[in-house]
Amino acid sequence: MNPFILSLRQIRYENRAFWRNPPAAFFTVVFPLIFLMIFNVLFGNEEFEVPGGTTTTSTFYVPAIVAFSVISACFTNLAMGVSMARDRGLLKRARSTPLPTWGYLGGRVMHAMLVAFLLVGVVSVMGVTLYGVDIPTNTLPAFLIAVGVGAATFSMLGLALTSIIPNADASPAIVNGVILPLLFISDIFIPMEDAPTWITTAADVFPIRHFSIALRTAFNPFETGAGFEWGHLAVTAAWGLAGLA
C-alpha cells in the first residue's frame, strides 16, 4: 500500500483518538484560555507600550498565549504522548506493520500541528470577544507562517526530547522541567522589557523567545510592514532542524 496513504490514515487515527478522549481534548483546548483569563485578571487590560504606539495588555497576552498553545500541543503533548506509547509497546507494534516509521511519526506531528492551529483560532477568537483585541489583517500571513514554523519546530524538539526520557512516568517531570523555566523568561507569561540582561541573553539562546517575538510583531496593530521577523523565524527553524537531526 502507498506509504503516503498510510500516513494520512495515521493522521485520521490520531485525530479520532484525540477527540474520543473528551477529558484530554477538553483540557487541551481550555487550558490556554484559563491562562489568558488569569493573566488578564491579574494584570488588567491596562495600557501597554509596543513598537509604534500604545495598546492594551491583552494585545500582549493573546500572541503570548498563542505561543504557549502551540508549544503545549506540539512539544509537551507530543513528547509525553510518544513516551507513553513507547512504554505501552505501541511503537514496536507500529514497526511490525506496513506503516513506515516516518509515516507514524509524521502522522503524530501533523495531528499535533492541526491541534495547534485549532488552539490559535480559539485563543484569537476569545481575545477578540472578551478583550476587544484587534487582529491585524495586513500581517495575518506573517502570523500564520510564524505559527507554522513554531509548530513544526516544537514538534521536532518534542520528538527529540523523547530520546532522553527513560519512561512514561518520568515524562511529565522532564518535559515540564525543561519547558516551564523557559516560558517564564521568554516573554510568554511576563513581559521581560525590564528584566536583567543575563536573563534576556539566556532566553535568546532558545527558540521560545524568538517564536514569541515573531508572533508579537505580526500581532502588533501599529506594524506598517508585512510583519515578518525573518531573523527570529530563522533561529526558531534552526532549532527545529536540530531537533529533526
Of 38-42, 140-144, 193-197, the least confident = 193-197
**pLDDT averaged over every residue in the chain:** 89
| pLDDT of 1 | 65
| pLDDT of 195 | 78
Measure Cα distances from 18 to 33, 91, 104, 114 in Å. 19, 17, 15, 12
Q: Could you tell me the pLDDT band of residue 179, with boundaries at 50, 70 and 90?
A: very high
22-30 average pLDDT score: 87
> pLDDT of 85-115, one tens digit each?
999 898 888 888 888 888 888 899 999 999 9
Question: Could you give phi then psi for residue 225, rounded to 5 degrees?
Answer: -90, -160
> pLDDT of 189-217, one tens digit each?
888 777 788 888 999 999 999 999 999 99
Q: What is the pTM of this model?
A: 0.92
| pLDDT of 232 | 95
Residues of 101-139 as b/e, b for ≥16 C-beta within 10 angstroms?
Answer: eebbbbbbbbbbbbbbbebbebbbebbeeebebeebeeb
9-22 average pLDDT score: 89
| pLDDT of 178 | 94
| pLDDT of 136 | 83
Question: Could you give phi then psi for residue 53, rounded to 5 degrees?
Answer: 170, -160
